[in-house]
Every structure is written in structure tokens, then in C-alpha cells.
Amino acid sequence: MPTELHSADLRPVDATALAQAFASGETNPAEAMQSALERMERLNPALNAIIHPRPERALAEAAEAAARWENRRNSPRASQQGVPSPHDITFDGIPMAIKDLGCEQAGEFHHAGARFLVELGWRGSLDSHLYRLLRAAGMVSVGRTNTPEFGTTITTEPVAYGPTANPWDLTRSPGGSSGGSAAAVAAGIVPVAHGNDGGGSIRVPAAACGLVGLKPSRGRVSTAPRLGEHRGGFAVDGMLTRSVRDAARCLDIISRPAPGDPYVAPPLRPGESFADALGAPLPPLRIAMSTGGPGRATAPARHAVELAASLLAELGHRIEPDAAPDGWYSPDLADHTIVVRTVAMSAELAGWAERLGRPMTADDIEPANWWSAELGRSLPASAYVESLAELAGWRRRVMSFWRMNPAGQPSTPDTGGYDLLLTPVLADVTPPLGCLADPADGARRIAELAVFVNQANVSGQPAIALPVAFDPAGLPLGVQLHAAHGGEHLLLAVAQHIADAGGLIPLGDLLPRESP
């Protein structure tokens, strides 16, 4: 594995800056895509982030976007308006990547990290609602990114495609299950990439790779047309980004419900957008801070939370340490989520067996997922229903911790409750590759690391991972903020204030490297 890689010709920027360059004519989508593909060719062999590149189609789609931008710049309206305002920014022609799990694309490889789908050369048969929204916005995919088999772990090391490396250190995990997407964004191949989060799978790789990772509220992003809910409602799609402002604009693009969705997140006010949060003034907020008590978070993870809390206090917010919802760290939560996840894995494999016309076997599936499916098959239906009921009761109890109000806006001080909860993302520093994939000990290590991410998946709340510190080895450490259900606007407003105050670590033109 190389110890040093050469940078691409153009320094990576976030999607908003690139869109502004399109608007000014400084560059265009065709040139940006060519640069992205050149950078992918240079860096991807060391990263193994993008497993299904689509250069020809990407270049053709980017050329179409370039023509649209040319027409905009030459229109009479453009000459009258001059430089577009922040509200007029469009992501037409922005290069992106799609995680190879969900977000189906008609005719494109779709393997979900599974060997049997690789062997079949499986391809998507339709465009998902989410992909249609991204394409309607004009965004162009360079390809699909690596993911662990069925996205069931917090590292990206599938047997089918091999491990993805962290651009900050090629010996470290990029997190998972959206690790391929995170590595592609951190390395500057693309400014944004699709991911999904059923147990920290956006937030963990964002923290590991120094990115912004927003897990939206349940029901904010539709899973149509294949699914109603995914894995008991735990999973939701989103985007990994280089900036808070990109996270807001991406959410505006993808948060469009589809007919038949089983639930929809609380809508914004008429005429409002998530991008409005970027300059929104904030009253003093009441923010709870928790590192989970003794033994849950290591010193580096606690330091990151304390650093973020200190900055938030400087910005005028009230920080209350050692505060968390009652039962937030309950072992019963893990027990019931195991039931839901193992039954979901069993059902997923049964669905593939029906589609393929043959039973699934242990030779098709990695051992951890086969064990999960076997456990799910052994459980009675009543156990699944009972666990869903217990988790619903837990969700109602913890929701009383937050101030509940329309569109996630902060409440007045006399309403009680907290506006936000601040915690680590992972309980420790980013682990080395192989550490979490080890069959004998990986599950225990994952359980120790991931004690702060599962709660938002069960509750359905939005949470945002922000890179605020470095560990002793110089690798990123992330923290996360949780808001009440529907509170993405508040999360984005606070995150942008942190960014404006210089509280996020610089990403810049990161080059993949190995530890010395």
C-alpha cells in the first residue's frame, strides 16, 4: 500500500463553493467531473472507496449539466440579477457518490457488500425515489461506494470487496457502514456522498473521517418504492458532506415524501428551507452533555465532548454536564434492538431467497450475518412484536427530555426540557482495520465503541456528527448533537454557528497516508 499519493490538480472544496464557481463561470460541471474522475483514478486504488465507477455516464451527465449552467449564465434574468444569493444556489452538476446499499439505480451494480450478489452480477431494476430526487437536482454520481455486507457493522471491510481505508491513515477504519462514501468525500474525490444510518452508519464514518454527518429524523427521507420502513424504522438515508452548509442544502434536496410512506417527519414552515438555518440567529439554548458515565468513553472521546461544550458555552448556551434521558444507556435497549435487527436480517435473506428462487446458505453470507439471520429465524413472532412495543415505550419516555415544538425551533426558557444533547460519536479513537472485523472479538469491540449511536435510530430523532478534535495520533474525533424529532433545522443552525466560530477541524486537501 503506498505511503504517499499525489493530489489532484484542483483543490477539493465543498459543494456550495463548487456551485458558486459554476455560477460565476470559473469552472463548469464537465471540468469538475473530469477532475473528480482523475482524483478517483489516483486515490481510489489505495482507498478502495468506490467499487462501481461509472466514468462514461458521469461525464455525459456532467456535460448536460454544464450546458444548463451555460444557459443560466446567458439568460437575461441572470444578467439582471448578477451574483446569485445563497438561497439561489443549486447543486446542478455537483459530483457525488452513492453508497452500494439502498438508493437503487436502474441498470447499475447493486451488491450491498454481499458475495452472492457479486457472483450474480446483480443490478438495480429501477431508480429509487431518493436517486430520482438527486438526479432531479442535477447531481451526478461518479459511482457506488463500498459497504460492509448489508451495512450491519461500523467498519467497511466486506469479504466481497475487501476493506476501505481511512484517508487520514490507510491502516485505520473509515467507519461504517457508509465508510466508502466517507472515504471518497474526505479524500476530495467528491464533495458529498450518499449514506444511510441504521445504527450510526452515517455518524460513525463522519466522525472517523473528519466530516459532517447528519442522520435525519425518521420519515424525513423516503425509502420508496421498495420499502415502507427499513429495519424496524431504525434506518434512514442521508448524506456525508465536507461542510454544514452542504448538509443543509442536501437535506433540502432529499427530504421529499412519496405517496404511501408509513410516516413523515414534521414539515418545516411554508416557504422555509433547511438552508435557512445557516444564518439563523439563536437564543441561548439548554444543552445536556453526557459521556455515559464511568467506563463508557475514553479520555480522547471525553476531551472532544468537553471541547465542543466549551465552545457552545462561549457562544452563549447553557451546558449541563452529566445529563441524559432516563434509560438512554439501558441494556434493555440493546437487547430489544438485537431482536428487531436479527428478525430483519432473517426477513431480508428470505426475500433474496424468494427473488433468486433458491434457499440462502451459510456459503452465501458472512458468518456474523448468517448467525444474525439464524437467531432471527429462531425467534417467535411474538418476540418481535414485544420488542417493538418495549422500544416504543422507551421512545415515549426519552422524548420527554426534549423541548417539543414545531420544526425543531428552540422553545422559551419556561417550557422546560432540553434543546439538545451532546455526546461522543464513538467511545474511543478510530480503530485499526481488522480490529472490528475479527470474528472472535469484533462484536464485543463494536458493542463497546457504539454505545452512543443506537439511541437516535430507535427514537427516530435527528443527530449530527461534527469533527471537533484530533486524537493523540492526529486523527479526527467527532461529537454528536441530538435534537427532538423534526429538529434538523435547530441542529444545522447550531452546527453552522460552531463552524463559523472555527470549531470544526480543517479538512482541506487531505491526502491518503499511512502512519509513520
Virtual torsion, Cα 456, 457, 463, 469, nearest 10 deg: 90
Active-site residue, 215 included: no
Residue 177 is a catalytic residue: yes
Catalytic residue among 177, 222, 346, 387: 177
> Which residue has 484530533 as its cell numbers?
470
Interatomic CA distance for residues 245 and 229, integer angstroms:
28
Pairing of strands 95-99, 140-145: parallel
Q: Could you say which of 99, 128, 243, 255 is catalytic? A: 99
What letter represents residue 287's amino acid?
Answer: I
The yes-or-no answer on residue 99 being catalytic is yes
Around Cβ 346, how many Cβ atoms within 10 Å? Answer: 20
What does each C-alpha distance from 140 to 91, 93, 136, 188, 234 come to in angstroms?
A: 10, 6, 10, 15, 28
Residue linked to cell 475487501: 162
Q: Which spans in 357-405 are helix H?
A: 367-378, 381-399
Catalytic-role residue among 201, 290, 346, 372: 201
Residue 236's nearest CA partner among 483, 459, 482 is 459
Is residue 37 a contact partner of residue 59, using CB atoms and an 8 Å limit? yes
Task: Kindly tell me the sign of the dihedral angle through the C-alpha atoms of 9, 12, 16, 17.
Answer: negative
Of 10, 464, 471, 479, the residue nearest 241 (C-alpha): 464
**Coil, strand or helix: which one is 459?**
helix
Q: DSSP characters for 202-228?
A: THHHHHHHT-EEEEPPTTSS--TTT-S
Q: What are phi and psi of 355, to 5 degrees?
A: -65, -35
Residues 6+ apart with CB under 8 A from 195: 99, 177, 178, 181, 182, 201, 202, 205, 213, 237, 238, 239, 240
Q: Which residues are catalytic?
A: 99, 177, 201
